Amino acid sequence: MPLTRTQIQQLVRLHGQEILCHEHMQIERVCYQHGVVTTFAHSIRVACLTVWIADRLHLWHRVDLHSLIRAALLHDYFLYDWHAHDGGRHRMHGFTHGGTAMRNAMRDFHLNRVERDSIENHMFPLTPIPPRYLEGYLVTIADKISATRETFSFDRFYKTKTNTCISGK
């Protein structure tokens, strides 16, 4: 039987607990990613979507669920607002933030190689090196789907910040 939305949320909460509770995730709550969606909410959406895709494609025996959820939650752990005026420092954000997210995540968490690689290369094919693991491809695909939805969502015309699959803002 396919996982329900509630079951997916519970899995993300369970496997992502250490990350979701970290003090630096508070930075993501005040940085906007696409439209009115915060980086925190975006990361949870991506994590939920990776689990949904893995479930619907029956990939349970081929993915490490714990690493998949942690990589998805940390894929945009760059910890700054890329819209902020910064004298051009974030001009290359699209190309550089995977590496920044990976370095920040390594500083704050103990990551395995699947998590490191999936975070660092999630912007493929914008960045040249593809993910090495299936978990990385799921993060990359879920990120693109979520980003497209958030960018073109009607939500962006309303100043609401409740759009997340787990009570994130």
CB of 126 to Fe ion, least distance (A): 9
Given the complex with Fe ion, which of 28 and 143 has the nearer CB atom?
143
Strands (E), 29-161: 32-34, 37-38
**Cα–chain center distance at 53:** 14
Given the complex with Fe ion, which of 76 and 117 has the nearer CB atom?
76
List residues near Fe ion by CB under 5 A: 76, 143
Secondary structure element (H or E) that encloses residue 127, with its range: none
Given the complex with Fe ion, which of 9 and 118 has the nearer CB atom?
118
CB of 143 to Fe ion, least distance (A): 4
The Cα 49–Cα 55 span in angstroms is 10
CB of 43 to Fe ion, least distance (A): 7
CB of 32 to Fe ion, least distance (A): 12
Strands (E), 1-157: 32-34, 37-38
Given the complex with Fe ion, which of 55 and 143 has the nearer CB atom?
143
The Cα 74–Cα 86 span in angstroms is 23
